Structure 1
Amino acid sequence: MNEILDVAALVLILIGALLCLTAAIGVLRFRDVPSRLHAATKPQVLGLMLICLAIALSLRSWPVVAFLVPIVLIQLATAPLSAHMVGRQAYRNGTIDETGLHVDELAESKRTPPAAGG
């Protein structure tokens, strides 16, 4: 049984590392900000989760699991938040192609200045 868990941990680490690698390549290769944000968050978070699962399977210890769960939860909380903030700032700077947006919820706030009160 230990050998099966070790092989499963190795496979999970390999898949997680490949997902993190594809996230890094996507950040470098994609042209627009939304595509880069998608590449930076989705596969990277899944890759980290798979690597944490592999560590838990490999070490087979409840204190390790208790240490890894907050890491995964913090990553799940901060990755979408940081992507949202980067995307919003890119929108404000005008570096996003607005013709490619399906829904533009910030168009009204862009027309009125923040200090205008409207």
Structure 2
Amino acid sequence: MDAMLDLAAMILILIGALLCLTAAIGVLRFRDVPTRLHAATKPQVLGLILICLAIALSLRSWPVVAFLVPVVLIQLATAPLSAHMVGRQAYRNGTIDETGLFVDELAESKRTPPASGG
């Protein structure tokens, strides 16, 4: 049974590392902010979750699990929030290719300054 859990942990670490590697390659290779944000958040978070699960399987200790659960929860809470803030600031700076947007929900806020009250 221990050998099976160790094998599962090795496979999870390999898959998680590959997901983190694809996230890093995506951040370097993609050309615009939305695709870079997609590459930086989705595969990286899943890779971290898989690696944390592999660590928990490998060490088989409740204190380790108790340490890893907040790590995963904080990552799940902060990655979408930071991606949203970076994407919104890129939109405000004008560094997003607006011709590629299907729906522009922020067009009205771009015309009206935030402090104008209207």
Give the TM-score range, shorter chain. Answer: over 0.9
Q: Which runs of 4+ in 1 moved over 3 A?
A: none
Q: Deviations over 1:67-102 (max 9, x none)?
A: 100000000000000000000000000000111111
> How big is the shift at 1:116?
1.2
Q: Normalized against structure 1, the TM-score is what?
A: 0.98
CA distance in 2, matches of 1:115, 1:74: 32
Equivalent pairs counted in the alignment come to: 118
Instruction: Tell me, in whole angstroms, the C-alpha distance in 2 between the residues paired with 1:115 and 1:70.
Output: 38
Uncovered stretches (5+) of structure 2, i.e. residues with no partner: none
* More deviation, 93-102/42-51: 93-102
Identity of counterpart residues, as a percentage?
91
Structure 1 residue 64: deviation in Å? Answer: 0.7
| Secondary structure class of the residue paired with 2:19 | helix
SS in 1 for 2:96: coil
TM-score under structure 2 normalisation?
0.98
103-112 vs 46-55, greater mean Cα deviation: 103-112
Q: Once the two structures are superposed, what CA deviation does each residue of 1:31-55 show, in whole Å capped at 9, x if it has no partner?
A: 0100000000000000000000000
**Partners of 1:27 and 1:4 in 2: how far apart?**
35
Aligned partner of 1:14 in structure 2 is 14
Whole-Å Cα distance in 2 between the matches of residues 61 and 110 of structure 1? 52
Query: Secondary structure at the residue paired with 2:103?
Result: coil
Q: Which residue of 1 aligns with 2:33?
A: 33
Partners in 1 of 2:73 and 2:62 — Cα distance?
Answer: 17
